[in-house]
Structure formats: C-alpha cells, structure tokens
Structure 1
Amino acid sequence: MRIEMTTLAEQPVAGVHICFFTDSLEPSGLGVHLLNLMRWLNPARYEMSLVCPDTPGGRWLMERAACVGAVVHPLTVRDRRDQASIDRLYHILTSERVTIFHSQVGISWEGMLGLRIAHRAGVPVRVVTEHLPYLLTHPGQVAEHRETTRLAHRIITVSEGARRTFLERGYPAAQFICIHNGVELPPERPLGEAARVRQELGVRPGAPLLLTVARMTWQKGHSTLLAAAHKVVARYPQACLAWVGDGPERPQLEAGARALGLAGHIRFLGQRDDVPALLGAADLFVLPSRFEGHPLAVLEALASGLPVVGTRVCGLEEAVADGETGLLVAPDRPDELAAAILELAGNSELRRRMGQAGREQVAARFTARAMARATMQLYESLLCEALGRTDGE
C-alpha cells in the first residue's frame, strides 16, 4: 500500500469524528447493531461517517445511516491489490480528520485491511467490534488477524462468551472488552394487529405460530428446525412456522419442506419490513443456531415479550436465561428442539411468564441506550489516552 503516515493524533479535538467501517458484503445483524449505536451517540459530541460496500445489504444500511446523520461513503475495501479503494479510504480518513476509526467485523477475517489503512493514516483511536466468536482456522488468516489486531486500541466483543474464545487463543485480555448488543424496547402494538397478521399468514385460531428471523445460512440451523418440525406438526396439525430472511440455503430448505410434506406449514416470508408486527403475533421465537455472538433477533423477540427456544451456544446462553426467559437445547438435536417447542406451545401461562421476564431482562441489561453509553465511555477513555488528556483538563 502506497500510504504516507500523517499525524492526526497531534491535531486538537473539539468535536470527535467517528468513521464506522465495514467490508461485510451483507451487513444484516451487524447493520442493525450499528444503527442502534448511531441513534444513541451524542450528536453534540460526535460526527459520524460510514464506509460500507455498495451491495444490496450495504445500501440498506447506508440509507438508514444517512437518516440518523451519518455521511455515507459507498466503498468496498477488501482487496489489497485494489490501490484505488485503498487510496480513497485513506483520503476519507485524512480529509475528514477522523478521530476514531471503528471497524465492525462480521467474521474475524473481515476488516483487517481497513484497520491497517486507519493505522497508516494516523487515526488516533482505532476500535474493532467482533460480532462473532473466534472462528479462524486457516493458518494465514490466523497469523494475519493476530498481527493486524495489534493495531487496534481496543476490541469489543458483543458477549462474554465471544470474548473468552479470543482469550483462550492467547490474545491479550487487556485489549478486549465486552459490550453487549442492545435493542429498543418496542411500544405496545395496535389493538387487533396480531389477529390481522395471523389471518394474513393463514394461521388458524388457536394454532401455534412459531417465528424465526435469521439469514438462511448453515450457522442459523434452519435444517435442525426443519427436522424437528414434523414432531411439532404431529402434535399440532395446524401449526405454522414463519421464517423471515433469505440466504444461500433457502432453495434447499424449501425443497426439504416439500419433501417432508411440510410445505403447507412453513411460510418462507423472505425479507420483511414488519418484523415487529410478526413478533407481536407469534406465540414463541425459535433460533437453533450452531454458533452466535449475541443475536439481535433474539433480543428483539425477548423485548417484544416472546419466549425463545434456542441452542446452548456462545452468545445465546447470555441472551436467554434457560428456564426463565426461554428454553435452551444442544445444537443439531432436532428431537430436543421439538420437545422444547412442544413444552412451550402447550403452556400459555409459561409462555406469558417467560415473555414478561424476557422483556424485563432486556430493559435491565440489553438496551441500545446502555450499549451506546458503554461505547461512548470507551471512546472517551481511549481519546484521553491517545491525546494525553485527563477528565480535568
């Protein structure tokens, strides 16, 4: 990379300019996290910009980021041979006098080139948020990640479980901090909306409606839910499973549903803008993931008063209190998953108690406001270190 070092760290800071960066081509949950954070940052203190790939998912994020006051830059910075993109990011960081570079990483091999450019541009504070546990296995990626992350002043993980996966591989504990994901507590839904939504989905009165909101990838475990569905339908012949989201596994899952005779029970809804209404209409939320960071879809379900059936994996264990706000089972165990679903589907009072406890848990621990407050505290602490200031100066 043909980049010369500048000395932004020596420049006086009145307002603080944060450049949020992602090279994730489909920043779905990551994008929701980022928007939740942006909405709660103090606008009198922070200016914001966003560098994001010009993909369908990236455009979705950039449109909404612009609405909360961010200057957006459609730019993909993933290939170290792409000198034009490297030079453009360097120009953005220096011309906008960026004070904090905050990289949002879906999987650990993402974001490394952006972090290197921010370091060479002399950005005073460099932060990375890792949204998933440590997943690297390729020796080259392992070595590059370890070398590049030394350039970050702090690495945020969205769960303590994810943080532990990095420390277990020898990363320095002092560099890592957990700041849990946060969501907004939804208002009361309009009277009659749940009945309308259920009618639109073709759900019979009294039949259980099980909602899943997730990209259709191997990670999210839809195939396990598909294998469990026949036991649910055997007990409740009118049961409906509503699946929101798209992804590479959707054609295979649709074919599997047809082959198992479940096509009339599983609704493949694709991307939806009315997820809050769907949450308000559902009886319970199901996410049988194989790994997670701290899933926003689960937090949103809990905030809506829905009990959750999930898996006992990193991140989900911190989001769902097993036996209190939902039920957790081992991943890839369709029989256990079906049993947990049936336990809740058949007990409306248990669902009500768990739903209330889940909403209270989110209000106490997992709000977007609390997440933003903790992030701003981290920013200010790192700025003091980088610029040689103290609170009294």
Structure 2
Amino acid sequence: MSAPTSAAMPRVHVLEILGNAIVGGMETYVNRLVRGLLPRNFRVTILCPFASPMTSALAEAGCDVIVAPIADDPRWATIQLATTLIAKHDIDVIHANLSNAHALAALVSAVTGRACLATIHGRAISLLDLEAHRLTENAHMTVVCQAAYYQALALGVDPQRLHHIANGVDIGERAIEPSASLHNILGLPKATTVVGYIGRLAPEKGPDLFLRMARLLATDPRDVHFVLIGDGPMRQTLEKMAGELAITNRVHFTGVRDDVDALLPSLVLTVLSSHAEGMPLALMEAMAAGLPVVATSVGGVPELVEHRYSGYLVSPDDPRALADAVKELLDNEPLRLRMGAAARVRARDHWPQSLCTERMGALLRQLARSRVVGTEVSRPEATVAAAIAPIAPMKISSKLTPR
C-alpha cells in the first residue's frame, strides 16, 4: 500500500514562535520551512516580536502573523495571547526558534497540553533552553548539527525528546557561471577577483578576522578585492578597522541583500571566519552555488566541508591560516574549480531543502498527535505557577561540556 499523500493527511496547525525577525540564518530557515510546509497540508500562524520584510512575505504566503513582545522572561500578557491563539485557532503543535521563543513555548505547552518543539540553530545550548526543555515532558528539541546533538546529550537532555535534523538548501537551477552583477554594484572591472564573506556582522561570526586576513592578502599582485555581504552591530567598527588596516580601497560592504543567490557567481570563493556555528546556511548556499570555501573548524562546519576536497578547514582565530588557504586557492584555478564542483555535489546530495522540510513536517505531525485533546484552562495563571514551582535552580557542571 502506498504512503498517504499530504492531501490525505489531517491538516496540522503550527504556531511558529520566532525570537527575532531580522534577516539572518534562523529567519531564512523559518521562511523556507514554512513555505515547504504549507503545500504539505499544514497551516502556520506566526508569533514574533516585531514586523519585518520577512513577516510580510510570510503573510503574503498565507500565514497569519501576530506581533507581541517576546522577552527571555515571557510577559504574562504574551503568555495569555499565545494560549488564546491556541484555543481560538485550534493549534496542534508549537515550534520555537531562539531561546526566548523556547521559554515562551514551553510555558504555553505546560498550560495547553500542546507539544512544543524548539530548534537550536547554533552549537551552544543555553541555560534558558535547558530550563525550558525540562519544564514539561511535552517539550522536544531539535538540533541542526551532530556537535550540538552530542552537547545536548552531555548536558542531560532526554534522548527520547532530542532530534537531529540538518538544515537544507535549495539547489534548483542555480547558475554557476561567472556573473558581473556584483562587480557592477561595486564598480569593479569584470575580471577583478572578489573573495566574499556572507553573514551577520556580529562578534561570533568573526568578520574582524576576515579583515585581518584581507590585510595579509592586500599585497597580492592580482588586486584581490574583499566583500562583506550582510549587516550587523559591528558594521561601523569594521569600516573603521578597514581604514586603520589601510585596505579601504580593497574592502566593500554591501549591507543586507535579498539577492545573494544572484551575487554568489561573482565570487571566486567564500570565507567563513566564525568563532562558533551550528550548520551555517550561508556556507551551504555558497557550496550549492559551486564555490570552494575556506572556513574555521567550529561547530557543525566540519560536517559540511571535507577538508582539502570541497574546501579548507582552518583553526579559529587565525587570520594567517585563513590567508594561506585563500592564497592557495587563488594560485591554483584547477584546484579551485575542482573543490567548487565537489562542494556543489555535496550540498546537492546531502542537504536538499526538501529532505529538511520532509523530516521536520513528519516530526511536527507526530508531535501534533500527542496533543491533549479538549484541554481547558480556566485559570491559566495558576497552571503556569504550578508548572514553574517544581523547577529548582539548575547546576550544570563544566565537566559535562565537550571540549
């Protein structure tokens, strides 16, 4: 007997709680997941702290979007709002992204009897995530990389409520031929060699290391240029740093772009200089576009990049190692093209977005079946108090944390 189609399955209504709504890896993940779930007989309601172009796009796709404050210590008004949404719209399961959303989801799960699933997008699992997870037996956790999975087990997360579902990337009909689009934007000749950084300009991403690497390569006779695609709290600091390093004529900042896919073919390679990562979507996008990568060996990055086959892995906090690896690729075009082709095949074969969506959809559907049907809460504040009361301060030994 064949498996039932999506149309034959009961419709599942998901409350998607977002801890943020800016442009970044988590938001890209949610956008792709939601758009993949809708045609699979899911309905999605979004609860997020503020409106943004991403929430507007999700509303246009058919989601209901509600805006409310989501603090690390959730406000009672927000808890009431979420419980009301679940009762009024007959929501089946809750999916949370980021720690503040996880805390809210766990409290609401305890009140309503709906299962909640929190996706941990980085390698590190916060104390708030752990506290939320142990608040109710209906709380499940999914991680995007093996490094985070093993850390969660070491910290005592119940393996029966822990799931590993890797991020996905759309391959589609991506063009991998060189394009002059980024060169036109930057005002550079089409033949100029451009090395890219794609991501938030935030401390954990190490964009300052990218600039220090650029300084080491600034004397290269090929007149190599370096572009940072993205924005974040370090933008002004980095622009000042480029001046102090005397590389302003070689470094370009584009800010946030919604056409990154179209810009990737203009790069010869991409660099990830992060101090910490989960399974970075920007790196996966570059690999899917057929670009070789030079990346720091942190978090789930070694699960993506096969050293010396689809790219280079280097130690974190080492701009010289980054520069040496980039130079080796710049000096050897056949190697660069071979690594880029291998990266594309690896992304296509191991992390298609369809597989990520299928696995998440199956898990959400499974958790939806565990909902406590007919749960009514006449005094939700008492239910929340009862849920929180048994929670004693949690002590986590550093001995449990993998080195």
Distance 1:70 1:312, change over 3 A: same
**Alignment-mate amino acid for residue 67 of structure 1:** E
Q: Distance in 2 between matches of 1:226 and 1:135?
A: 29
**Most deviating of 246-255 and 179-188:** 179-188
Q: Offset at 1:177?
A: 1.1
Q: Which residue of 2 aligns with 1:147?
A: 134
Q: Offset at 1:53?
A: 1.3
Aligned counterpart in structure 1 of residue 97 of structure 2, from 80, 104, 122: 104
Task: Answer whether contact 1:225 1:288 (CA < 8 A) is retained.
Answer: yes
Aligned counterpart in structure 2 of residue 122 of structure 1, from 113, 121, 130: 113
Q: Which residue of 1 aligns with 2:340?
A: 355
Q: Distance in 2 between matches of 1:152 and 1:322?
A: 40
In the TM superposition, what are the counterparts of 1:17-36 in structure 2 within 5 Å? 17-24=13-20, 26=22, 28-36=24-32
**Most deviating of 71-80 and 214-223:** 71-80
**Residue 198 of structure 2 corresponds to residue 198 of structure 1:** no
Q: Percent identity?
A: 27
Q: Offset at 1:382?
A: 2.9
Any idea what the Cα deviations from partners look like across 1:41-66, whole Å, max 9, x if unmatched?
25352111111111xxx412211212
**Alignment-mate amino acid for residue 353 of structure 2:** A
TM-score between both structures, scaled by the size of structure 1: 0.86
SS of the residue aligned with 2:211? helix
Q: Which residue of 2 aligns with 1:132?
A: 122
Distance 1:283 1:186, change over 3 A: farther
Q: Offset at 1:18?
A: 0.8
Q: Distance in 1 between matches of 2:153 and 2:227?
A: 38
In the TM superposition, what are the counterparts of 1:172-321 in structure 2 within 5 Å? 172-189=158-175, 194-236=179-221, 238-321=223-306
Task: Answer whether contact 2:106 2:132 (CA < 8 A) is retained.
Answer: no
Q: Which residue of 1 aligns with 2:60?
A: 67
TM-score between both structures, scaled by the size of structure 2: 0.84
**Most deviating of 313-322 and 13-22:** 13-22
Distance 1:307 1:44, change over 3 A: closer
In the TM superposition, what are the counterparts of 1:371-390 in structure 2 within 5 Å? 371-386=356-371
Q: Distance in 2 between matches of 1:190 and 1:73?
A: 39
SS of the residue aligned with 1:182? coil
Aligned counterpart in structure 1 of residue 354 of structure 2, from 369, 372, 383: 369
**Residue 152 of structure 2 corresponds to residue 166 of structure 1:** yes
**Alignment-mate amino acid for residue 11 of structure 2:** G
Q: Distance in 2 between matches of 1:315 and 1:109?
A: 23
Q: Which residue of 1 aligns with 2:384?
A: none
**Alignment-mate amino acid for residue 94 of structure 1:** A
Task: Answer whether contact 1:77 1:86 (CA < 8 A) is retained.
Answer: no
Task: Answer whether contact 1:40 1:372 (CA < 8 A) is retained.
Answer: yes
Distance 1:346 1:207, change over 3 A: farther
**Most deviating of 180-189 and 379-388:** 379-388
Distance 1:359 1:237, change over 3 A: closer
Aligned counterpart in structure 2 of residue 84 of structure 1, from 63, 77, 81: 77
Q: How well do the aligned residues superpose, as a CA RMSD in angstroms?
A: 2.3
Structure 1 runs of 4+ aligned residues shifted over 6 Å read none
SS of the residue aligned with 2:236? helix
SS of the residue aligned with 2:179? helix
SS of the residue aligned with 2:316? coil
Task: Answer whether contact 1:126 1:151 (CA < 8 A) is retained.
Answer: no
Q: Distance in 2 between matches of 1:302 and 1:190?
A: 11
Q: Distance in 1 between matches of 2:137 and 2:24?
A: 26
SS of the residue aligned with 1:272? coil
Distance 1:236 1:181, change over 3 A: farther
Q: Offset at 1:203?
A: 3.2
Distance 1:20 1:236, change over 3 A: farther
Q: Distance in 1 between matches of 2:167 and 2:213?
A: 29
Aligned counterpart in structure 2 of residue 156 of structure 1, from 142, 155, 168: 142
Task: Answer whether contact 2:125 2:152 (CA < 8 A) is retained.
Answer: no
Aligned counterpart in structure 1 of residue 49 of structure 2, from 33, 49, 53: 53
Structure 1 unaligned regions, length at least 5: 1-12, 389-393
Distance 1:136 1:206, change over 3 A: same
Distance 1:174 1:236, change over 3 A: farther
Distance 1:329 1:27, change over 3 A: same
Structure 2 unaligned regions, length at least 5: 1-8, 374-403
Q: Offset at 1:205?
A: 4.7
Q: Distance in 2 between matches of 1:375 and 1:345?
A: 39
Any idea what the Cα deviations from partners look like across 1:189-238, whole Å, max 9, x if unmatched?
498x7124324323345432111111111110111111111221222451
**Alignment-mate amino acid for residue 158 of structure 2:** P
